[in-house]
Amino acid sequence: MLSRVADHLYWLSRYLERAEHTARQLETSVTLAPDRTPESGARHGIRLLSALQAPDAAKAGLDEFRQLAVDLAVGDRDESLLECVSLARDNARQVREQISVDMWEELNRLYLRLQAAREDHGWQEQPEDLFREVRHSVYLFKGMTSSTMERGEGWQYMELARFLERVINTSVLLDVHLREFQDGLCGTVETADFVEWLSLLRGCASFDAYTRAYTAAIRPLHVLDFLCLNADFPRSLRFGADRIEDCLRALSRLSGRTQAARVERLAGLLRASLQFVQIEELIDGDISQTLEHVRRQCRLIHHATYQSYISYQLESETA
């Protein structure tokens, strides 16, 4: 596959995963807002903006957060839903021959919907409806991708990008949450903090799966174990690390490249750091450091993937 094509498919998938993550965080925040006091709502707003890596999160107050939430939907910010979908669409346009008509039409429809929302402010009366629509549209795009795309190199680049973005986003969300709720992880959730742990589960689209595994009783230790180390839940760090390594192995096989050993070793280290550990060990140590290690490994895998597959140097021809 041409490096140019691989690059566009990779970023198409990353930007859409980012858009889905942002839409879910905003929808969860708006839906649970009535259950928060003004003070807890202000603290949650700052945590949310930090989790979305908005540069002005530290100085955002409650009133500023309301405006920033609108900006995060249809503003000119790099993190906004409109900007993420626009960049995904730009990348998709460059590789129309690699994706199906259904995929292109759904992505284009989502882009036009967000452009319309930028002009018509009526959606701000019930913003959760727009956020849910974005999330469902990305789900539909992923379903179309799964149903209409060959499982070749292009598919593997998109899967790799999706899980790299997902692992990074989830680890940031967990890290930001634990900075405020580090105490009492081995006990039960205090009544005042229940909505915050519920928000974390919903923000990771994991509440239903969690209740099937642990019942509806929310315990911080169980939540962290589920979101970090569960091997079967598709949004856990462990599951994402497994899929990243699987995709890189498939890319090595499909491309026939011999210089990909480094990126596979990095993926193996990421997987091992989450496979051979218990949640009690993470809690007894510095779990924030572990989450930072996960993000650092993902960044290294991203750069090594580019060096090995996308921006690699052509081997000189020997006589």
106: pLDDT confidence band, cut at 50, 70 and 90?
very high
Q: Is the pLDDT of residue 68 over 90?
A: no
Assigned token pair, 45: 């707003």
Residue 1 is which amino acid? M
pLDDT tier, 56 (very low <50, low <70, confident <90, very high otherwise)? low
pLDDT at 166 over 50: yes
Whether 26 and 73 have beta carbons less than 8 Å apart is answered as yes
Per residue in 263-305, pLDDT tens? 999 999 999 999 999 998 888 878 999 999 999 999 999 999 9
pLDDT at 114 over 90: yes
Predicted local confidence at residue 314, as pLDDT: 47
Query: What would the mean pLDDT of 41-53 be, rounded to a whole number?
Result: 85
Q: How far apart are CA 5 and CA 161, in angstroms?
A: 14
Average pLDDT over residues 210-234: 94
- State whether residue 232 is helix, strand or coil: coil
Decide: 301 and 10 in contact? Cβ < 8 Å: no
Q: DSSP secondary structure string, 257-276?
A: -SS-HHHHHHHHHHHHHHHS
Averaged over 119-124, what is the pLDDT? 87
Whether the pLDDT of residue 88 is over 80: the answer is yes
**Burial letters 92-102, b for 16+ CB under 10 A, else e:** beebeebbeee
Instruction: Give the pLDDT band (50/70/90) at residue 148.
Output: very high
What is residue 316's predicted lDDT score, i.e. its pLDDT? 36
pLDDT average, residue stretch 197-217: 94
**Position with higher pLDDT, 115 vs 62:** 115
Mean per-residue pLDDT, 77-95 = 93
**How far is Cα 21 from Cα 54, in angstroms, rounded to an integer?**
14
